[in-house]
Amino acid sequence: MQILINTNDEIINYAIVGGFEDGIEIDNIPSDFIRNFKPRYYLFNEGQIEVNNEYKEETETFPPIEPPNLNLSGTDEELRKMFANMQIQIVQGNVMVSELTQQNARLAQEIVETKQELEKLKGDN
């Protein structure tokens, strides 16, 4: 097993498999080391692992997550109509995409047929 320590000899990480670039190989660890491990909870002192008596639990303070502002004007019925209109627009957009895809396929077929006719004309001359 390897441990990684910081400049204060506090153990900040450990590896059972593999290791660290500046890791220290350890053979004897306390029986509760893995179960109780927290960065800086243990010290590496004169080749021995011991509990850091000056350890303080870190409490990270994250800014509170604010719920999104849902100031939607209008009644429930108005919102339902807006949603229905958006659904209709999506269907219309999908229909347009389908029509354009069909047009592209027809144009591609016409190009192929035109090339074939040109090749026939060239071959006849």
DSSP codes of every residue in 101-124: HHHHHHHHHHHHHHHHHHHHHHHH
Do 120 and 86 lie in a common domain? yes
Does pTM surpass 0.85? no
Do 82 and 121 lie in a common domain? yes
Do 78 and 122 lie in a common domain? yes
CA distance 15 to 19: 6
For residue 49, the 8-state DSSP code is E
Which residue range(s) make up the domain with 20? 2-51
Q: What tokens were used for 107?
A: 């144009």
Q: What is the per-residue pLDDT across 66-105, written as a single tens digit (0 to 9) for each?
A: 766 666 667 888 888 888 989 999 988 888 998 999 999 9
Q: Using CB atoms within 10 Å of the CB of residue 14, give its burial: 0 to 12 exposed, 13 to 18 middle, 19+ buried.
A: buried
- Lowest model confidence (mean pLDDT) among 2-6, 19-23, 49-53, 108-112: 19-23
The structure tokens 């269907």 sit at: 91
